[in-house]
Structure 1
């Protein structure tokens, strides 16, 4: 049997906002994958399904075929001398970290969850809390093997077909199937971090703290920073700024092992709560006030690296709390000198009775050469909102685009498609390379159709 074939299934993104009925195919080896690809006229590539919206779902025109790659999850090789690991694209970052961190190597870039696939991390060009110094995930990919829509397999790198390589980095799974990749890891002495926490009393104070952190991050790729914002009311912005750096062996108390025990397996899927769930303006206000008041400024706190970098993995029930409608994470980036846009967005949400259930601010440095890669030098704000108020967000797209900013495609469910060429000005160049890599025109997704990425 070349692949597992299932009947119609209903799938969604992590935010549970958009649902599609799909035919799911799970190829079990390379030959079966090639046969499947050349047999299906239209395909959507899916990894762990952790993108928030419809990036890993077919379009709305009828049951689409989804190519799920979680069977391709082997670590092919690991050179402990130079830290280069070759891994299949369906492997979770968690599995890679489980194998390499205890022997003193770490992924240079990890997003807020380690439960995404390597292929998804490349396709979305994910970023972490250390972007000003370390860049995004794609900058640490040595090479990747790509299955094109005509059934041929090509190896791409920054030196071998760089146009194809950078079109695939951040290309949202629309250039082909990433089969495997070589990733450059980094040496670490321990699996712990030192956290310095500062509680702020206004948005301006929060921004000043993050600017200072950005200066340190630019000089050191091992510096991580993130701000949580209490985004309620007409003048939001008090918050908590956390800055992390790696702990050495001398920083550990004598009873603490250099590397914490491996995390237990991923938590199971949680059903959405009925109706509108438990997220409301009242519960958001209570939770935000409690979080701010219970936190205290403090330095030199020891935190496990994986807890510091992957907070979403301790909140697997988070989307379920928003009820059957799900949640939208509206994440955008703007240049450093357009900080007024952050003020405007938060004020707009306050005026429209949309306090975010979660609002986080990070610094961004220079992005990759990927035309659809999200990061640009400046700021990125992410806000979690109930999906039932999607239409209210449309005016924010114009604010962001007018400031020279962009939305994050991996999180998107609502953006005005007319603004995508303005947000991503190298889209025409990406389209030309995408057509070359996809000669049969097989790759599609709900995101691509909704935003007109392939037109």
Structure 2
């Protein structure tokens, strides 16, 4: 496809809260990418479209769809370094590398995101206390500036530009390709242990104890699934899952080291949203939470496929469709470890406002990165899925915005749809330095997005 080839189509984020008719260019060569970039004064870069809100939607101009740049260029099976174009899905890397004993060191809740999107959002997984976020494992990346000039960046080569691109939300340039360091594993299975807690205090105490194991072992994954019905003394009670990659010694004799993966998913073909409010109401959310709680008893250990353990969202491909025409909003924030009281306040606020989350997860974050706009900070991160129709008034979550900002916390830009823009400089105090670097890498002032315009990320 050349830069002259384009189409007009309706796009949205994964949460389906905002829909836009966009002119989309989808080049399939590096030369085509350069031509497409230079052909338009305003460009929004898009991967698989799995950011929840408007991070990959245009405020103005055209959309540069990078999914045709989907080649794995090289894979050194000796040292586990894979070089891939920006449009390669994490799923494709897993399918090629896992049977050879290599695993992506950081996996978010889904495999259906691109390498470029994982870098731009600096995604994190359930093993953050030991592994950190995705950008920590990027050896180098090739970036196309807005004037059409490519440059190679790494932690040792123009480090400030490299870290501004890690978590930079696609606003520093087009990631053309990247080299990623994988981790060794013996099998494609995980050993899961499940616990239940009776309160938020118990949940936090357990996560703290498990974080010690995570710091020692980057392959130790932990996540807490909160019971949406809990109030009062039981507020924040959870099902806590921990898993680590299984060794060959963990497998029964009849179990092959690498399970056969299911057939190719329909995740790339979204299910049409259900009419009206869909299936999500306070009553159905509470009923589903009760069912999940009663069926999820504590277990000593269970063997599960590794990809199912690390990417639970891929078992619910039609999840956004269940929220009806209004879609879903995921509000995810992080606060420092000593500000755990904010978690209780937020959960209490949602409960009092009769906004029981359809899904609520809590994880331990181990450390931050050099990326000025990278989300993780040492502490806690809570994510809640809410029907977007509950949030038509943008003030509905303003009290939470203020609590998070006052505690030294931040919202996750890759999930954001409605945060108060005045609080972004408070949440991201290194924003001015990032803006100066962004201007250096974007001399034509070409890169944009609806997220960037709504939150005032660009100077």
TM-score range, shorter chain: over 0.9
User: Given the alignment of the two structures, is residue 293 of structure 1 paired with residue 327 of structure 2, yes or no?
Assistant: no
Q: Counterparts in 2 of 1:112-123, with a 5 A limit?
A: 112-123=109-120
**Partner in structure 2 of residue 238 of structure 1:** 237
**Partner in structure 1 of residue 401 of structure 2:** 397
Task: Report deviation, 1:428.
Answer: 0.3
Aligned mates of 1:286, 1:232 — CA distance in 2:
9
The 8 Å contact of residues 81 and 182 in structure 2, kept in 1 or not, is answered as: yes
Aligned mates of 1:7, 1:258 — CA distance in 2:
45
Q: Counterparts in 2 of 1:131-280, with a 5 A limit?
A: 131-232=128-229, 234-235=231-232, 236-267=235-266, 268-280=269-281
**Partner in structure 1 of residue 100 of structure 2:** 103
Aligned length: 452
Deviation digits for residues 26-85 of structure 1 (CA, Å, limit 9, x no counterpart):
0011111111111110000000000000000001xx6x3100011100000011111111
Aligned mates of 2:398, 2:245 — CA distance in 1:
40
Aligned mates of 2:107, 2:127 — CA distance in 1:
9
**Partner in structure 1 of residue 23 of structure 2:** 23
CA RMSD of aligned residues (A): 1.0
The 8 Å contact of residues 189 and 247 in structure 1, kept in 2 or not, is answered as: yes
TM-score (norm 1): 0.98
**Partner in structure 2 of residue 416 of structure 1:** 420
Any unmatched runs of 5+ in structure 2?
A: none
Aligned to 1:226, what secondary structure does the other structure show?
strand
**Partner in structure 2 of residue 432 of structure 1:** 436
The 8 Å contact of residues 228 and 286 in structure 2, kept in 1 or not, is answered as: no
Task: Report deviation, 1:393.
Answer: 1.1
TM-score (norm 2): 0.97
Aligned to 1:132, what secondary structure does the other structure show?
helix
Any unmatched runs of 5+ in structure 1?
A: none
User: Given the alignment of the two structures, is residue 32 of structure 1 paired with residue 32 of structure 2, yes or no?
Assistant: yes
Aligned mates of 1:126, 1:138 — CA distance in 2:
8
Aligned to 1:173, what secondary structure does the other structure show?
coil
Aligned mates of 1:175, 1:262 — CA distance in 2:
36
Deviation digits for residues 123-169 of structure 1 (CA, Å, limit 9, x no counterpart):
00000000000000000000000010000000000000001000000
Higher mean C-alpha deviation, range 200-209 or range 232-241: 232-241
Q: Counterparts in 2 of 1:377-392, with a 5 A limit?
A: 377-390=378-391, 391=394, 392=396
Aligned mates of 1:187, 1:384 — CA distance in 2:
33
**Partner in structure 2 of residue 330 of structure 1:** 331
**Partner in structure 1 of residue 12 of structure 2:** 12
